[in-house]
Amino acid sequence: MAVGGGLSSKWRAGKRVAEMGFNAGGGAVNWFPGHMAAAARAIRHRLKLADLVIEVRDARIPLSSANGELQCLLASKRRVIALNKKDLANPNIMHHWIRHFESCKQDCLSINAHSRSSVSQLLALVELKLKEVISREPTLLVMVVGVPNVGKSALINSIHRIATSRFPVQEKVKRATVGPLPGVTQDIAGYKIANQPSIYVLDTPGVLVPSIPDMETGLKLALTGAVKDSVVGEERLAQYLLAILNSRKTPLHWERLVNVRTERSGHESHDSNEPIFSNSLPRRRRQLDNSDVLYIEDLAKEVQKTLYLTFKDFEGNKEEESELESLIDMQLMALRKAFRILHKASDEARTMVSKKLLTLFRIGKLGPFILDSIPNSP
């Protein structure tokens, strides 16, 4: 059974998970830094000039990662939807999403922006879409748009590497800035990727709508990193993640880990206060070595094992909201041991557990997931 499968029948709507007690008073997600307003206006203006748009979305949330305010403008353009981070998305479900977009008459491709072969396939599709205008236009403009942190800049940089290997470029090619936080790219810059005809790619900053009234969409965007954690709160996000995992009965897929003794020879000396993940390392970052990678793999298995045991041993009715919340509280407490956070005050420990759990999910160590549900066919 797929790790990222659908919700159980009683929880299939997903809406109930977002409206659980831990979200009481949460309301709409509002995050619209000042630079986004100007960027949104600039994007709308440049869209009029674009010959083709690459709309980058997060493959884990193919619908939730679409900027709703741009959809009407994009509908009238040549467009390719690039579902990025496919390595983090459930491959058993991804092909159903591709078929869904095709049934909506939308070109769609799942990609890994860091993979040359994957990006080459995207460029081939873009060239095919531009074929009908490429003969009569001396200059063509391709825009890359998307919400924050879906991998637009990583895609731009991969396109540069491929383009410069195909076409010797005289001028120096500027690289797009890539960072782990949403909203890193804060201006719009043009990059020449080909000659005869000249093809320019515009990288744009990630822009969200000013307010996300649908709580489920807002939580999914925050869970996948499109909204800063501080806007929603790490503990609230961790509770939401555990609600999804428990509602899908995902921990049952990790039963095999219970009888597997994890070999940690040479790694037990890690102190619980030592940075474990790349995003918790000091500002002057060091490279993760093999022992770090093995340690993270072992830690992920320990977390999965803990979630399985708490899920299996829980005697309450997991389909009742209050009971599910009790299970989540038990799991957050049990994860303190898995993460070796045993000597911290309760609030501080829950925050630390939440941050580390979110990191494991975001780097794919808990498995591949697609959080959105495929809508009914049009």
Tell me the pLDDT band of 355, cut-offs 50, 70 and 90: very high
On average, the pLDDT of the chain sits at 78
Above pLDDT 90, what percent of the chain?
42
Q: What is the mean pLDDT of residues 200-216?
A: 69
Domain C-terminal end among 203, 220, 242: 203
Question: Residue 157: which of 189, 195, 196, 124 has the closest Cα?
Answer: 189
Task: Report the CATH number that the domain containing residue 198 is assigned in CATH.
Answer: 3.40.50.300
Number of domains in the chain: 2
How far apart, in whole angstroms, are the C-alpha atoms of residue 50 and residue 109? 20
Predicted local confidence at residue 38, as pLDDT = 64
pLDDT digits (tens, 9 = 90+) for 84-117: 999 999 999 999 999 999 999 999 999 999 999 9
Please indicate, yes or no, if residue 6 is contained in any of the structural domains: no
pLDDT digits (tens, 9 = 90+) for 36-51: 566 667 777 778 888 8
Q: Are residues 66 and 128 in the same domain?
A: yes
Lowest-confidence range among 57-71, 93-107, 236-250, 254-268?
254-268
Please indicate, yes or no, if residue 86 is contained in any of the structural domains: yes
Q: Which residue has the higher pLDDT, 49 or 352?
A: 352
Task: Examine the pLDDT at 226 and tell me if it is beyond 70.
Answer: yes
Lowest-confidence range among 102-111, 138-147, 306-315?
138-147
Report, in angstroms and rounded to the nearest whole number, the Rg of the chain calculated over CA atoms.
Answer: 22
Task: Examine the pLDDT at 289 and tell me if it is beyond 80.
Answer: no
Task: Examine the pLDDT at 175 and tell me if it is beyond 60.
Answer: no
Predicted local confidence at residue 3, as pLDDT = 36
Q: Are residues 345 and 256 in the same domain?
A: yes
Question: Torsions phi, psi of 225, nearest 5?
Answer: 95, 10
Domain range for 373: 233-262+289-377
Task: Examine the pLDDT at 53 and tell me if it is beyond 80.
Answer: yes
Predicted local confidence at residue 295, as pLDDT = 81
Above pLDDT 70, what percent of the chain?
69
Residue pair 179/151 in contact (Cβ under 8 Å)? The answer is no
Please indicate, yes or no, if residue 281 is contained in any of the structural domains: no
Please indicate, yes or no, if residue 68 is contained in any of the structural domains: yes
Distances, alpha carbon 327 to alpha carbons 21, 237, 243, 317, 324, in Å? 13, 16, 9, 10, 5
Q: Are residues 241 and 194 in the same domain?
A: no
Task: Examine the pLDDT at 31 and tell me if it is beyond 90.
Answer: no
Q: Which residue has the higher pLDDT, 186 or 246?
A: 246
Task: Examine the pLDDT at 184 and tell me if it is beyond 50.
Answer: no
Q: What is the mean pLDDT of residues 2-28?
A: 51
Predicted local confidence at residue 166, as pLDDT = 75
Q: Are residues 104 and 187 in the same domain?
A: yes
Neighbours of 345 (CB within 10 A): 8
Task: Examine the pLDDT at 182 and tell me if it is beyond 80.
Answer: no
Q: What is the mean pLDDT of residues 216-228?
A: 90
Q: Are residues 57 and 140 in the same domain?
A: yes
Residue pair 303/360 in contact (Cβ under 8 Å)? The answer is yes
Task: Examine the pLDDT at 220 and tell me if it is beyond 60.
Answer: yes
How far apart, in whole angstroms, are the C-alpha atoms of residue 220 and residue 59? 12
Helices 321-338 and 346-362 meet at what angle, rounded to 10?
90
Q: Are residues 45 and 157 in the same domain?
A: yes
Please indicate, yes or no, if residue 134 is contained in any of the structural domains: yes
DSSP letter (8 states) at residue 62: T
Q: Are residues 37 and 175 in the same domain?
A: yes
Length of the chain: 378
